[in-house]
């Protein structure tokens, strides 16, 4: 009798198991796979559909604030050269403000030679320890820490991408500050891109520093426009477009009286 009961229980469990298997939902196909996306990350490298999408993304990212850019990167699980350089620049600032800057800057030069280019020689009787990124910051948000990006399936070293040709440039200086501005235009012909580099004199050398830019645009809009926060030397800013006749630019170092003026 016990054997019959056990047999019936086993059969009931088997039937219940079959019914459960039959009701399991079938896996649904992905609506859009990573391989078909216009932009996706693979092995730490940003893959971009084609050259047209690449330039769209470059211009779009140039208009984002630091936090908007960080959120975009985090959503993709991507670490860009931009983020790496910002971190390195923060270390550079701490060294400049430290107790043994010359010795530590020489160590910094060797440690980060793949990421930054440090000036050599002297200026105005002082050593020049200013730095700039190893790749153009215009492409820093789409290249990984090693400067690599894939465009149309082809692996590209961002160091080899030629920069937009400068239409105008300006150099201004005071006894303690230096500033360069290169203005570039995208295909629409309006003033679109400003590449700024600035340095300051400290007790022991000339060094790069962060500052706030001030812009005056004539048409449109009227008045002043400036960045939300301090940004690194060599940072690229995409300017407002659409009928700008002229713009003036200065920073806290050189002052408004030493502004650069550009005519469109």
User: Distance of CA 59 to CAs 65, 187, 194, Å?
Assistant: 13, 12, 12
pLDDT at 21: 46
Residue 194, both tokens: 């400003």
Tens-level pLDDT at each residue, the chain (264 residues): 555 555 445 455 554 554 444 444 444 443 334 445 899 999 999 999 999 999 889 888 887 888 899 999 999 999 999 999 999 999 999 999 998 899 999 999 999 999 999 998 898 899 999 999 999 888 899 999 999 999 999 999 998 887 666 678 889 888 999 998 888 765 555 556 788 888 999 999 999 999 888 888 765 455 677 777 788 888 887 766 654 567 788 888 888 888 888 776
- At 34 the three-state DSSP class reads helix
Q: Quick one: which of 166, 188, 195, 243 has its CA closest to 55?
A: 188
pLDDT the model gives residue 193: 75
Q: What is the pTM of this model?
A: 0.77
Please name the helix (run of DSSP H) or strand (run of DSSP E) that holds residue 247, with its range, or none: strand 246-251
Of residues 185, 186, 211, 174, the one with CA closest to residue 196: 211
Interatomic CA distance for residues 216 and 247, integer angstroms: 5
Q: What is the pLDDT of residue 150?
A: 97
Query: Is 164:217 a contact under the CB 8 Å cutoff?
Result: no
- For position 222, what pLDDT does the model report? 55
Instruction: Using alpha carbons only, give the angle 94, 171, 216 rounded to the nearest 5 degrees.
Output: 90
């Amino acid at each position: 009798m016990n054997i019959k009961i056990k047999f019936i229980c086993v059969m009931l469990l088997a039937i219940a198991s079959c019914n459960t298997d039959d009701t399991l939902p079938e896996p649904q196909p992905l609506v859009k796979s990573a391989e078909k996306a216009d932009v996706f990350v693979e092995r730490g490298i940003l893959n971009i559909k084609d050259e047209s999408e690449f330039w769209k993304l470059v211009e779009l990212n140039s208009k984002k604030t630091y936090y908007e850019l960080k959120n975009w990167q985090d959503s993709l699980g991507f670490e860009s050269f931009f983020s790496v350089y910002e971190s390195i620049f923060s270390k550079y600032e701490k060294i400049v403000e430290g107790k043994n800057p010359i010795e530590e800057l020489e160590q910094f030069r060797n440690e980060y030679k793949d990421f930054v280019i440090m000036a050599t020689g002297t200026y105005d009787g002082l050593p020049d320890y200013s730095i700039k990124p190893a790749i153009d910051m215009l492409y820093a948000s789409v290249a990984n820490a090693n400067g690599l990006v894939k465009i149309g399936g082809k692996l590209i070293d961002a160091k080899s991408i030629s920069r937009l040709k400068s239409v105008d440039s300006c150099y201004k200086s005071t006894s303690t500050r230096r500033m360069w501005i290169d203005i570039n235009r995208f295909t629409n012909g309006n003033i679109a891109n400003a590449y700024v580099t600035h340095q300051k004199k400290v007790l022991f050398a000339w060094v790069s520093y962060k500052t706030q830019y001030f812009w005056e645009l004539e048409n449109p809009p009227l008045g002043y426009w400036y960045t939300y926060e301090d940004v690194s030397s060599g940072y690229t800013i995409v300017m407002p477009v659409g009928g700008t006749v002229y713009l003036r630019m200065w920073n806290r170092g050189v002052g408004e009286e030493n502004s650069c003026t550009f005519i469109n």
